[in-house]
Amino acid sequence: MKLGTDYSNVEAPNMKSNIQIENKVIAKTHKNKYWGAFGRQRYLLAMLLPFLIWGFIFLYMPLYGWVMAFMRYSPGKPLFSNQWVGLEHFRVFLFESGEFGIVMRNSIVLSMLGLIFQLPLAVSLAIIIYELPFRIFKRTVQTISYLPHFVSWVIVANLFFEIFSRQGVLNNLLLMLGIVREPIFFLGEPGLTWPILTATRVWKGVGWDSIIFLGAISGIDPNLYEAAYVDGCNKFQRIRHITLPGIMPTVSVIIILSAGAILNTGFEQYYLFGTPANRLYSDVLDTYVYRYGLAMGQFSFATAVGMFKTIVSLIVLFTVNSIFKRINEKSIF
């Protein structure tokens, strides 16, 4: 390579062509480097290859399966010999099933209720834990508070079915305190479905969520607290003017992510707590897809509903993200 050309003696036009040649040389070596890299990185690429294949099969093939949503698919037939029906399944789901409104309402309301209660509680818990001076006590409380995160919804359902049962401890307590006269059948009462689902969800998640905010609080510059202390701020003023603004970016990110997941309520909790008596209030998109797809075998229809869910979620995620970007200058992308 002639990279060391002395330009000082060369006239202007010549210099230009020299640079062009030089660029070509660089481009060529770059290209060689690029292809040569495959040879030199053969170990690395050999380690990667199985996962590319795995990803193709288990992450991308299902996306390809979305074509089923536009067909009248019957199992056993080769995929493309099924009849195309266009947007038929989407139309049926949105306008004819009569269930679209119910499952959408339940999914959105339950997600929102979860967020509305869990977020402020988790933030408060984090602030309280941060402000308290007793280390061992704090540690213990924290450890206890996120234990429920590590047990499955099956366990949670079992625990609360027993507590909420007619002879359960909650009814006993309410009777003893004279709040109710008759034992309440909590899980058979449609009106209590949303409160119960929200309460158990918050119970399971609040401690775990508080870790995120504790992390955010410990990321705040300690000098700010020092300065506030010197200026005579009390604890409440510090919380109000330093801690809360300091964790707002984190809160924004959590809200954006929750918005994107507003239809992804998950399956387990709603399936386990769901009974025919409360289905009108506990049926969410995920349980709906399961019921139509796997329990009733309407594969195409269920695929269409699932596809609808994913696409709407993405649209919501990007919309909320761009709104936050504009007003808050905080976003995840």
Partner 1 sequence: MPVKNQTLSEKIFTLVSIFLLIILSVIMMYPFYYLLVYSFNEPMDAMRGGIYIWPRKFSTIAYRTVFQTRNIGQAAWMSFLRTFVGTSVSLFCTAMLSYVLSRKHLVLRKFFNKYFIITMYVSGGLIPTYMVIRSLRLLNTFWVYIIPGLINVFYMVLIRTYMEGIPDSLSESAEIDGANDWTIFIKIMLPLCGPILAVIAIFTAVGHWNSWFDNFIYTSRKSELTTLQLLLVNMLKQHAVTRSSDLLRPDQRTMAITQESIRAAITMIVTIPIILVYPFFQRHFTMGIMLGSIKG
Please pick, from the candidates 107, 111, 118, 145, the single residue that binds partner 1 as defined by CB under 8 A. Answer: 145
147 part of the interface to partner 1, by CB under 8 A: yes
- The 4-43 site mask, x for binding partner 1 (CB under 8 A), equals ------------------------------x--xx--x-x
Pick between residue 67 and residue 109 the one whose CB is nearest to partner 1: 67
122 binds partner 1 (CB under 8 A): no
3-state secondary structure 41-60: CHHHHHHHHHHHHHHHHHHH
Q: How far is CA 195 from CA 109, 192, 198, 222, 296, in A?
A: 11, 5, 5, 39, 29
Q: Which of 5, 20, 275, 319 binds partner 1 (CB under 8 A)?
A: 275
Q: Number of residues in contact with partner 1, rule: CB under 8 A?
A: 102
SS3 68: helix
Amino acid found at 11: E
Least gap, CB of 48 to partner 1 (angstroms)? 5
Q: State which of residues 22, 99, 189, 268 lies at the interface with partner 1 (CB under 8 A).
A: 268
Task: Phi first, then psi: give them for residue 16, nearest 5 degrees.
Answer: -60, -50
> 114 or 306: whose CB is closer to partner 1?
306
With contacts defined by CB under 8 A, name the span among 2-10, 23-31, 51-59, 96-104 that binds partner 1.
51-59
Task: Let me know: does 263 contact 312? Beta carbons within 8 Å.
Answer: yes
Which residues in the 150-169 window bind partner 1 by CB under 8 A? Answer: 150-152, 154-155, 157-163, 165-169
Binding partner 1 by CB under 8 A: which of 119, 129, 242, 263? Answer: 129
Q: What amino acid is encoded at 70 in this protein?
A: F
> What gap in Å lies between CA 208 and CA 210, rounded to an integer?
5
Of residues 25, 26, 53, 57, which one binds partner 1 by CB under 8 A? Answer: 57
Residues 289 to 308 in contact with partner 1, rule: CB under 8 A: 289-290, 293-294, 299, 302-303, 306-307
As given in the structure block, the two tokens for residue 290 are 């399961």
Work out how close the CB of 173 gets to partner 1 at its nearest, in angstroms, rounded to a whole number: 8
42-80: b (≥16 Cβ within 10 Å) or e:
eeeeeeeeeeeeeeeeeeeeeeeeeebbbbebeeeeeee
